[in-house]
Structure 1
Amino acid sequence: MRSIKAIFAAARSGWSLEFALLLPILLVLVLTGLWGGIAIYSIKHQAEVTRRAQEQDLSTLTLAADFTRSAALVHAQVMEALNQAQYSQISELELYFQHSDISENLAQLNQQVDALASSALIRAVNHGSSGLLREAFQDYRRFVVMATDIVTVDPSRAQHYVSAAQDQFIYFSNYAQRIQQLLSARTLEQQQGAYRQVHTYLDRLAWLALLSFVVMMGLALLLALRMTRRLRAITEALLSLAHSQQQGVPSLEAMQQIEQQCQNEFGAMAQALLRLRDAEREKRLAQEQVHHLAYYDSLTQLPNRRLMAEHLRHSVQSSRQVHQWGALLIFDLDHFKSINESEGHPLGDQLLLEVAQRLCSLVEASPLIGRLGGDEFAILLDALAEQPQRAANLAEDFAEDLLALLAQPYVLSESSYQITASMGIVLFDGREHSADDLLRFADSAMYLAKQRGRNQWCFYDPEIQSALEARNQLERDLRLAVETQQLFLVYQLQVDIEGRPFGAEALLRWQHPQQGLISPADFIPLAEESGLIIPIGYQVLRTACEQLVRWQAHPATDHLTLAVNVSAKQFAQADFVAQVLNILQQTQAPRHLLKLELTESMVLTQVEETIEKMHHIKALGLAFSMDDFGTGYSSLQYLKRLPLDQLKIDQSFVRDLQHEDDATIVRTIIAMGKALNLQVIAEGVETREQQDFLARYACDAFQGYLFCRPELAEEITQRLQQYAIAHPAPWMMEAPSTADF
């Protein structure tokens, strides 16, 4: 039993597609043969039963015929014996012997009656026939015996019994003949019934076989339909996977059911398709991740610069086709860097996320928003209007709402922060400028908004864009100038109240290969914004120290002090003191002759840290001068704490000494310096009247074109050597043109 189950399980697990296709045919052939065998066996069995019944009926009919014939012979013998006895033709002894023969014959007839009465055919004809036959024969037998007994004694009475026996024989014979007729009819009826039964059985077998065939064909059809459904499901799965490049990866529930239900080729195909689906899903997920990383910002999940540029190119083409104006808005957060550095990058990231959420809540209609990088965001407005003025008005309204939304307080880490934004707007209709141009234009408009005071928007101006592009080109040239040493120093002498030179200020100049000499007013602010001022500043400090060392070799210049300007970014470096000490140690410059000039606004930023750093530098032997004094808002409280050696009056006040306000400021600065025991020097002195005014109020020193213009170190050395040789009067150079540096 176990082996049969094992074979069946193995056959079931090993069903192949070919076997599944041939199974309906095999089932029909096997079951048809089975039903044919059953039908043949049933027909043979029914024929055998019919044959046996016919033999029994024939035996009964034969018995009935023998009984009828024997009864007739016995009755003839009885009647002959009675007639002879009645007419005394035989003796009593002969009659006795005949009586004995008659009784014996009657006994044999009685046995035949019993046999006939007990036959199945007679019982089938009539349940009372056998009893009536026995009763009629017994009455006949009794009358015959009685007649033969008394025929010799009382012939008249014997005649009565003979008549009764004769009547009973007639009745008995008629009844026996009737029974025989019934038996013949019953036999014929049984034969016909047997034939009908055979035909009925054959018909039933035929219908059963036909029904079985139909059932088997139905099962075969169901199996074929089931296979067709599976094949169709597999085909649909293949088509779904084939079209999954344009659509999502299908779930293939039908394949999962086939895999669970089938262990044959269908299951293998379903498993292969599911594996292919899983591989395609993993591939699609990896592609989506790569696409998301390439086109979306990792922090805010907004489109990045790359994706925004692609959308902008599409919008430019669409605007050209539909003749509609669109707008590109770019903004960044004002002073975000300060919050990010002071509060930490996690809080800065939270602020950027909050800004992104506010943008999404405001522009969840059609506009596209993106993060270009850092705190810079972009918004793309498509198809605003057909007229540029209408499009500009809509963009302006949108910008106003957006700035108002961004200016609302931000609650981050249980603290409230408020930050504004500066926004640039550029309109486009797709006919003039490319997407890259529009990004640059909107960016330049944003910087214009910053220059105008921040927390506002500005439209793009071509002139401003041209200036910005020139500025960017200048920045690139400046970086190259730092690498190729195009920058150099000139020096402007400083004189005391007697006109004697005692020092100089190192001034940075840039000799551009194509544009020539570029004004410091043009490239110094650019260096500050780009961060190049830090390496430039250290380079200037090193060059100045090296020049101090060279001046020590000449008696005419060994007493000169040298002032070097220090930028705010350079001074704010954590290693500024260490860098200064390193330069001093490497150049071996005389420290008491080196003076660092700091601006008033720089000193007033982070006062405590500035004072501490100034004391460290002061301990190295260097002096400090406050440059551009008077342009800020310094107070005596801070000035008396700063380790300063000199105040330098800004040239803007010296230039306008004819105005009473400026003259008052200059007098106040000189008085303040005297009160703090600081040397006071005025820069930008260009006329004798300016010098006389400053000298009248006891200004200690002067610097300006009236005394000397900025010159190279070799020229300064040569002039001072000539001054030392001649020394005819208080030294003074002829006043140069104010157009000179």
Structure 2
Amino acid sequence: MFEVGRVSAVRAAITRAQKWPGIAQPALWARTAGSSFVFGGVLVALITALTPTSFDHAVLQYANAAVAMSIGIAVLLTGRRVTLVQFHLLVVTAILQITLSVTFATGAAAVSFATLYVFVGCAAFFVAWPTAVLYLGLAMLCSTTALAVTGSVPWWTGLVTAATTAAVGVIILALGQVVAKAELDEVTGLPNRRGFERILSAEVSRASWEKTGPAVVLICVDARAAVQQAFGDRAADALMQQLTSTWLGVLGPGHVLARRSDGELALMLPATTEHDAFALTQRLRQEATREFSAGVSAWAAGESSTPVLERADAALRRAQSIGRNRTMLESSELPPLAVQLSDALAAEDIGVCYQPVMRLDDPDVVIGVEALLRWSPALGPDLNAGEVIRVAEDHDLIAALDQFVLRRACLDAGWVQGRFPGLPLMLSVNVSGLELVKQGYAARVVDTLRTTGWPADQLVLEVTETVLDVDRPSSINALHELRRHGIRVAIDDFGTGYSSLSRLHTLPTDLLKLDGSFVSSIISPSAPRLLQAVAGLADALHLPIVVEGVETARQAAVLRDMGFTMAQGYHFGRPQSREDVAESIRHQATTSGPALGG
């Protein structure tokens, strides 16, 4: 199957080479064609002026020269917009103009004009070999015929000029093929890193004259390294051949798929928005048999190809840092929603509410709060916290958002606790996986605690199972460092991810936040068996559990009878302001409680 895939990939690569020749760049072929037209026109006009007796119709030669120079100047001025089809037309036009000048000249002048057919051989550098053969064949036919028609030179003179044109064309074609092969990946037949960057540069040059530019997708095939380690290089190469063959059948005309390194692919999408490129990666994901991480960005007017590649690479690294099989967007421009979020952060116009965490054996006692983000854009629909976080992650605002929420929560919790000195209130704050893996994250958290005065042993940072499932040393090391400073770590939404239960005792974890979907299964006074199993597991591992999503007194009673000690949900209180939290504590039966998880 892999061999069939390789053949298909090679065939597809050949087909794409016909549409987008390996060496062809609009700016380069335009400069070459334009200069040839101008030089040829000047040469015809000069020879006509020096040897007027060699022509029966000198005016015709001058007119032909003027047309050639005009075409050349126009191509040089607008060359970046010259398409491949137009380049073909220019070559045919040049052959016809040279033939016209040769036909209406005599003797040495006719032979001199025939040497201009060599320019057609130069065009072979920019096209695939079948097209180059057509160019050279037409030039040889016209050269031989035109010189024979003049009758002023021996018939075999045309054979000499035709053979010379063919020889030059073949040499240039061979050189072009050598250069093209240097830009191809031997395994997949796709452009390599060098070829992709040149093709992208060419597309950016073209886009400089258009309204829309290219989008770039960088893809890392997550499984390749594991396949190579387990089965060797041939199996890893076969995986890449199969994957690229599948994707070549999905991509449209003009789309360029390349292999930048062993496990990394690149995709150039002409005249495509970043959001359309993002959508295409989802389609590729549906067709793929292996998971992959992807980074997307689009070219912005006025920039070279380097910035768009850097943004796409940054997006790819972000996707890899927060989990497998993710696509991240690094936008060249902030969309209106992200602009509003950025402005709100700058103005500190982001809300933070607090949902009480209660003791199940004494539901009137608030022992902690979870900080919850609240923000409604002035323009557009309301967003929940998850949607706001996704906007921040997609547009490189998550660091500022995380820092703002943590600082505000510490200050607000300090304000509440200042009114109840004997209350060891626990503060829980969610952590973005993108921030957790960044160098120095733990130090930034500790610095925030220092500047706000909030005790480290009263802070709980919540991370999702997905973040921990990535099992990256950077994230695990950050959690260990946080715990060394006395900060507790909780696994949020426990039970909804893919973490192995056998890893719980090895992860840097102090407590679990049980997802509310478990609580919704309580529809009778009896306890669901799954909840009983979770309670037993936590007890065996000595991990306290906070049950989320408790909405009724019945649910609270069942959980209490099962041995769960802490819970939060609408039954105990909705997310509220710090003033409302203080008011709730004021009406408690007692003014202090044990530390969360104690």
- The TM-score normalised by the length of structure 2 is 0.51
Residues 593-635 of structure 1: CA deviation (Å, up to 9, x unaligned): 1110111121121254433322211111111111111112333
Q: 1:487 aligns to what?
A: 350
Q: Which amino acid aligns with 2:552?
A: T
- Given that residues 527 and 562 in structure 2 are in contact (C-alpha distance below 8 angstroms), is that contact kept between their aligned partners in structure 1? no
Provide the rounded CA distance (Å) in 2 between the counterparts of 1:697 and 1:453. 46
1:299 aligns with 2:133: no
Q: 1:668 aligns to what?
A: 533
Q: 1:535 aligns to what?
A: 400
Decide whether aligned partners of structure 1 residues 369 and 607 sit closer, same or farther in structure 2, where only a CA change above 3 A counts: closer
Residue of 571, 575, 578 corresponding to 2:440: 575
Residue of 684, 687, 692 corresponding to 2:552: 687
1:610 aligns with 2:495: no
Q: Which amino acid aligns with 2:254?
A: I
Q: Which amino acid aligns with 2:357?
A: Q
Q: Which amino acid aligns with 1:708?
A: G
Q: 2:383 aligns to what?
A: 518
Q: 1:477 aligns to what?
A: 340
- Given that residues 546 and 566 in structure 2 are in contact (C-alpha distance below 8 angstroms), is that contact kept between their aligned partners in structure 1? yes
1:620 aligns with 2:519: no
**CA shift at 1:552, angstroms?**
3.5
Q: 1:703 aligns to what?
A: 568
Residues 686-722 of structure 1: CA deviation (Å, up to 9, x unaligned): 1111111111111010101111111011221122123
Provide the rounded CA distance (Å) in 1 between the counterparts of 2:524 and 2:287. 29
Once the two structures are superposed, the pairs formed by residues 12-411 of structure 1 within 5 Å of their partners are 228=53, 241=69, 244-245=72-73, 298-300=197-199, 304=203, 307=206, 335=220, 368-370=253-255
Residue of 416, 431, 434 corresponding to 1:551: 416
Decide whether aligned partners of structure 1 residues 338 and 572 sit closer, same or farther in structure 2, where only a CA change above 3 A counts: farther
Secondary structure of residue in 2 paired with 1:511: coil
- Given that residues 370 and 429 in structure 2 are in contact (C-alpha distance below 8 angstroms), is that contact kept between their aligned partners in structure 1? yes
Provide the rounded CA distance (Å) in 1 between the counterparts of 2:285 and 2:353. 31
Q: 2:280 aligns to what?
A: 446
Residue of 440, 447, 463 corresponding to 1:598: 463
Residue of 369, 374, 383 corresponding to 1:509: 374
Q: Which amino acid aligns with 1:299?
A: R
Residue of 634, 638, 642 corresponding to 2:499: 634
Decide whether aligned partners of structure 1 residues 368 and 512 sit closer, same or farther in structure 2, where only a CA change above 3 A counts: closer
1:677 aligns with 2:505: no
**CA shift at 1:585, angstroms?**
2.2
Decide whether aligned partners of structure 1 residues 420 and 489 sit closer, same or farther in structure 2, where only a CA change above 3 A counts: same
Provide the rounded CA distance (Å) in 1 between the counterparts of 2:411 and 2:384. 24
**CA shift at 1:684, angstroms?**
0.6
- Given that residues 566 and 598 in structure 1 are in contact (C-alpha distance below 8 angstroms), is that contact kept between their aligned partners in structure 2? yes
Consecutive unaligned residues of structure 1, counting only runs of 5 or more, are 1-223, 253-295, 314-328, 344-349, 378-409, 424-434, 457-470, 731-741
Which of 1 and 2 has greater Rg? 1
Provide the rounded CA distance (Å) in 2 between the counterparts of 1:585 and 1:599. 26
Question: Displaced runs of 4+ in structure 1, greater than 4 A?
Answer: 224-243, 246-250, 305-313, 329-340, 357-364, 417-423, 438-445, 450-456, 514-517, 659-662
Q: Which amino acid aligns with 2:283?
A: A
Q: 2:362 aligns to what?
A: 498
Decide whether aligned partners of structure 1 residues 418 and 542 sit closer, same or farther in structure 2, where only a CA change above 3 A counts: closer
Decide whether aligned partners of structure 1 residues 450 and 697 sit closer, same or farther in structure 2, where only a CA change above 3 A counts: farther
Provide the rounded CA distance (Å) in 1 between the counterparts of 2:450 and 2:66. 79
Secondary structure of residue in 2 paired with 1:563: strand
Decide whether aligned partners of structure 1 residues 473 and 668 sit closer, same or farther in structure 2, where only a CA change above 3 A counts: farther
Decide whether aligned partners of structure 1 residues 452 and 361 sit closer, same or farther in structure 2, where only a CA change above 3 A counts: closer
Decide whether aligned partners of structure 1 residues 455 and 608 sit closer, same or farther in structure 2, where only a CA change above 3 A counts: closer
- Given that residues 422 and 446 in structure 1 are in contact (C-alpha distance below 8 angstroms), is that contact kept between their aligned partners in structure 2? no
Q: Which amino acid aligns with 1:484?
A: A
- Given that residues 422 and 455 in structure 1 are in contact (C-alpha distance below 8 angstroms), is that contact kept between their aligned partners in structure 2? no
Secondary structure of residue in 2 paired with 1:506: strand
Residues 119-145 of structure 1: CA deviation (Å, up to 9, x unaligned): xxxxxxxxxxxxxxxxxxxxxxxxxxx
1:658 aligns with 2:523: yes
CA RMSD of aligned residues (A): 5.5
Decide whether aligned partners of structure 1 residues 440 and 562 sit closer, same or farther in structure 2, where only a CA change above 3 A counts: closer
Q: 2:578 aligns to what?
A: 713
Decide whether aligned partners of structure 1 residues 660 and 719 sit closer, same or farther in structure 2, where only a CA change above 3 A counts: closer
Decide whether aligned partners of structure 1 residues 226 and 551 sit closer, same or farther in structure 2, where only a CA change above 3 A counts: closer
- Given that residues 545 and 589 in structure 1 are in contact (C-alpha distance below 8 angstroms), is that contact kept between their aligned partners in structure 2? yes
Provide the rounded CA distance (Å) in 2 between the counterparts of 1:710 and 1:702. 14
Secondary structure of residue in 2 paired with 1:486: coil
**CA shift at 1:678, angstroms?**
1.7
Provide the rounded CA distance (Å) in 1 between the counterparts of 2:250 and 2:571. 62
Deviates more, 1:651-660 or 1:225-234: 225-234
Q: Which amino acid aligns with 1:536?
A: L
Q: Which amino acid aligns with 2:198?
A: L
Provide the rounded CA distance (Å) in 1 between the counterparts of 2:544 and 2:246. 56
Decide whether aligned partners of structure 1 residues 448 and 554 sit closer, same or farther in structure 2, where only a CA change above 3 A counts: same
Residues 543-590 of structure 1: CA deviation (Å, up to 9, x unaligned): 122223323421167421100000111111122112112212222221
Decide whether aligned partners of structure 1 residues 337 and 624 sit closer, same or farther in structure 2, where only a CA change above 3 A counts: same
Bigger relative CO (Cα 8 Å, ≥ 6 apart):
2
- The TM-score normalised by the length of structure 1 is 0.42
Secondary structure of residue in 1 paired with 2:491: strand
**CA shift at 1:676, angstroms?**
1.5
Q: Which amino acid aligns with 1:547?
A: D
**CA shift at 1:516, angstroms?**
7.5
Decide whether aligned partners of structure 1 residues 662 and 613 sit closer, same or farther in structure 2, where only a CA change above 3 A counts: farther
**CA shift at 1:308, angstroms?**
7.2
**CA shift at 1:245, angstroms?**
2.4
Q: Which amino acid aligns with 1:641?
A: T
Q: 1:214 aligns to what?
A: none
1:585 aligns with 2:419: no
Q: 1:402 aligns to what?
A: none
Decide whether aligned partners of structure 1 residues 453 and 606 sit closer, same or farther in structure 2, where only a CA change above 3 A counts: farther
Q: Which amino acid aligns with 2:426?
A: T
Provide the rounded CA distance (Å) in 2 between the counterparts of 1:227 and 1:589. 97
Deviates more, 1:486-495 or 1:299-308: 299-308
Secondary structure of residue in 1 paired with 2:454: coil
**CA shift at 1:486, angstroms?**
3.0
Q: Which amino acid aligns with 1:300?
A: I
Provide the rounded CA distance (Å) in 1 between the counterparts of 2:500 and 2:52. 97
